Amino acid sequence: MPIIPVYSFNEKLMRTLIVSLVLLLCAGCTEQADVVFVGGKIRTGDPDRPDAEAIAVRDGRILAVGGGEELGPMIGKTTRVVDLEGRFVLPGFIDDHTHFVSGGFQLLGIDLRQAGTREDFAMLIGERARTRPGRWITGGDWDHDAWPDGRLPTKDLIDSLTRATPVFVQRYDGHMALANSLVLAMAGITRDTPDPPGGTIVRDPKSGEPTGVLKDAAMDPVYRCIPDPTEEERREAARAALAEARRWGITSIQDVSSPEDVAVYRALHERGELTARMYCRLPISMTGELAAKGVRSHTGDEWIRTGSVKAFADGSLGSSTALFFDPYRSDSSTRGLPSDILLDGRLEEWAMEADKAGLQLSIHAIGDSANSIVLDLFDRIVKKNPPRDRRFRIEHAQHIHPRDFDRFVRLGVIASVQPFHAIDDGRWAEGRIGYDRCRTTYPFRSFLDKGVVTCFGSDWTVGPLNPLLGIYAAVTRRTTDGRNPGGWVPEQKITVEEAVRAYTLGPAYAAFEEDEKGSITPGKLADFVVLSDNIFLVEPDRIQDVRITMTVVGGEIVYQ
């Protein structure tokens, strides 16, 4: 059940008296705030003033933080006063890794995470095909590991239900998808089609025919067949995603964006509809174009910034395409799949060029070998290119070889991680790679103990957008199947304070924005979130039940 705060009569009376006193003290003030939030229990994240009761805001920035009486002189005749009613306040959450517009499309489309069996999966797709015949069915985010038999779906499950409807639905990690026969034909994928570099066409072991499941680079021919959404469809998806972000207290998003996504964010900002600040990572293949335009790290304004480029070194654990030093326990014939641009040398070429141009590098690496390869690449870049403040990022950094933690620190590499994955993948990870490798899987404690800058996010839609679930996951490490009540690999648990920092100041630093965001400090942007309960005081297993009661961006209440 949601946690409902209970206040005594005396607490309510005291808050009322404080608000009244503040209003009386403000009479005749010359310095004026636009809005003052009073009567809160504020954890600022600022070591110079860690706790406060009130926040004054002017022109979208924090004017002052302190007690109600201290801020009284800043309240003038036109100042709005908002009573926080004794609730708990934190800096606005910053999500370090999303696929934001895709998340909006998922909210508007089919949801296959709810499919608990292969039969449910087929039924949901069949129902969508009946209601929207002929229109592409995409997205979905299915999870075969949640099904009783744990087997991958096949096109035979859905072909009879979707003869005239193209279907291409992804596993929730985005590294594997199922196509029906219609889509395979459109993409020209047959039993004679070879596996592309960095990809796998899953085949029936007896007939050699494609089962419909495509992994990583093997999905590319299908992507080329899918019609691009219209500009208005993108705006609709972005609006849905923004509403979801507001609901979960997220004030800034670090997105894996396309140029079209960035254009949508700018259009919404011009209309006054952008309610979260966007830090956009564009494909590394755009390096030359961005450099020619003079884009550098942290280019933009307080609402929309570019200057970071994203690349892939490998796939995912769930799809058995994450690249490891040793073979998979579940399939000794494979160590995973390096990305196509890693195999052909483009990753190194583009990364060197991007760094030389002053762009930030964000590289996806899951397996221990992939992480090591990316660290090797960063080391070569540091030795070849002139020194500067780079803030290299490894996105996900899930499985780390013990010898590589110190290299994160030496090279200044940021671990951009998503803690919900730990309690989700923890259901089946040992079956894929064994217990020993899992000891440094999602190694939050090891990162922090070594001094690695760590930031948190969701990888939405791979994981839920809700930051409180991420904090809960990092603190408890209780897997979603309920089988690890003491925590999966419990030695990697961290504290609530460390998790909150990784959702606020950590990602602010990772985007060169620590002077603008991440704490409730005078001069910074007035972005904060109000919670129903103090997550530092509730039992860790109840953090996931705490509610967001207000989200404030630039001093404006965007959710209540």
Q: What is the CATH number of the domain that holds 485?
A: 3.20.20.140
Is 412 buried (19+), middle (13-18) or exposed (0-12) by CB count in 10 A? middle
CATH of the domain at 121: 3.10.310.70
Residues 504 and 549 placed together within one structural domain of the fold: no
pLDDT value for 109:
79
14 confidence band (pLDDT: 50, 70, 90)? low
Residue 7, pLDDT above cutoff 80: no
User: 54-58 and 61-66 as β-strands: parallel, antiparallel, unpaired?
Assistant: antiparallel
Angle between helices 100-108 and 259-270 (to 10 degrees): 80
Residues 533 and 431 placed together within one structural domain of the fold: no
pLDDT value for 263:
97
pLDDT tens, position by position, 406-427: 999 999 999 999 999 999 999 9
Average pLDDT for residues 295-301, to the nearest whole number?
Answer: 93
pLDDT tens, position by position, 48-62: 999 999 999 999 999
Asked if residue 97 belongs to a domain, the reply is no
pLDDT value for 24:
47
Residues 55 and 141 placed together within one structural domain of the fold: no
Residues 31 and 141 placed together within one structural domain of the fold: no
**CB–CB of 422/62 below 8 Å?**
no
Q: How far apart are CA 214 and CA 315, in angstroms?
A: 12
Average pLDDT for residues 370-381, to the nearest whole number?
Answer: 98
Asked if residue 241 belongs to a domain, the reply is yes
DSSP designation for 156:
G
Residues 236 and 282 placed together within one structural domain of the fold: yes
Domain count, the chain: 3
Residue 74, pLDDT above cutoff 80: yes
474 confidence band (pLDDT: 50, 70, 90)? very high
Asked if residue 96 belongs to a domain, the reply is no
pLDDT value for 111:
85
Residues 265 and 304 placed together within one structural domain of the fold: yes
**CB–CB of 467/456 below 8 Å?**
yes
Please, what sign has the CA dihedral across residues 70, 76, 79, 83? positive
Residue 26, pLDDT above cutoff 80: no
Asked if residue 99 belongs to a domain, the reply is no
Average pLDDT for residues 458-485, to the nearest whole number?
Answer: 96
**Which segment of 4-13, 60-69, 246-255 scores lowest on mean pLDDT?**
4-13
End-of-domain residue from the set 223, 255, 284: 223
Residues 247 and 166 placed together within one structural domain of the fold: no
Give start and end residues of each alpha helix (H) in 339-428.
340-343, 346-356, 368-384, 405-411, 420-425
Please, what sign has the CA dihedral across residues 533, 536, 537, 539? positive
The C-alpha R_g of the chain, in whole angstroms, comes to 24
Q: For residue 370, how many C-alpha atoms fall within 13 Å in the half-sphere facing its CB?
A: 33
Asked if residue 104 belongs to a domain, the reply is no
Residue 4, pLDDT above cutoff 90: no
Residues 434 and 345 placed together within one structural domain of the fold: yes
**CB–CB of 368/407 below 8 Å?**
no
Residue 114's domain comprises: 110-223
Q: What is the mean pLDDT of the chain?
A: 93
Which residue pairs, CB below 8 angstroms and at least 24 apart, start in 511-516?
Answer: 511/94, 511/252, 511/254, 511/279, 511/298, 511/305, 511/308, 512/297, 512/298, 512/360, 512/389, 512/391, 513/252, 513/279, 513/298, 513/305, 516/302
pLDDT tens, position by position, 493-528: 999 999 999 999 999 999 999 999 999 999 999 999
Residues 509 and 524 placed together within one structural domain of the fold: no
Characterise 357 by phi-psi region: left (phi > 0), alpha (psi -120 to 50), beta (else): alpha
17 confidence band (pLDDT: 50, 70, 90)? low
Residues 19 and 118 placed together within one structural domain of the fold: no
Element housing 553 (H / E): strand 548-553
The residues, any chain, with a CB within 8 Å of residue 175's CB and separated by 6 or more, are 215, 216, 315, 316, 318, 319, 321
Q: Note the maximum CA span of the chain.
A: 86
pLDDT value for 152:
94
Asked if residue 13 belongs to a domain, the reply is yes
pLDDT value for 114:
87
User: 360-365 and 304-312 as β-strands: parallel, antiparallel, unpaired?
Assistant: parallel
Higher pLDDT, 353 or 149: 353
Residue 40, pLDDT above cutoff 70: yes
Q: What is each CA distance from 121 to 18, 137, 428, 506, in whole angstroms? A: 56, 13, 20, 38
CA nearest neighbour of 399 among 489, 533, 517? 489
pLDDT value for 113:
84
Q: How far apart are CA 338 and CA 322, in angstroms?
A: 8
pLDDT value for 442:
96
Q: What percent of the chain has pLDDT over 70?
A: 95
8 confidence band (pLDDT: 50, 70, 90)? very low
Average pLDDT for residues 25-51, to the nearest whole number?
Answer: 84
Q: What is each CA distance from 301 to 87, 279, 304, 498, in whole angstroms? A: 31, 10, 6, 29
pLDDT value for 172:
85
Structure-token pair, residue 95: 């999500």
Higher pLDDT, 137 or 18: 137
Residues 494 and 357 placed together within one structural domain of the fold: yes
End-of-domain residue from the set 223, 240, 257: 223
Q: How far apart are CA 363 and CA 278, in angstroms?
A: 19
Residue 306, pLDDT above cutoff 80: yes
Q: What is each CA distance from 34 to 59, 246, 249, 517, in whole angstroms? A: 7, 22, 22, 19
Other CB atoms closer than 10 Å to residue 452's CB: what's the count?
23
Residue 387, pLDDT above cutoff 80: yes
Residues 74 and 132 placed together within one structural domain of the fold: no
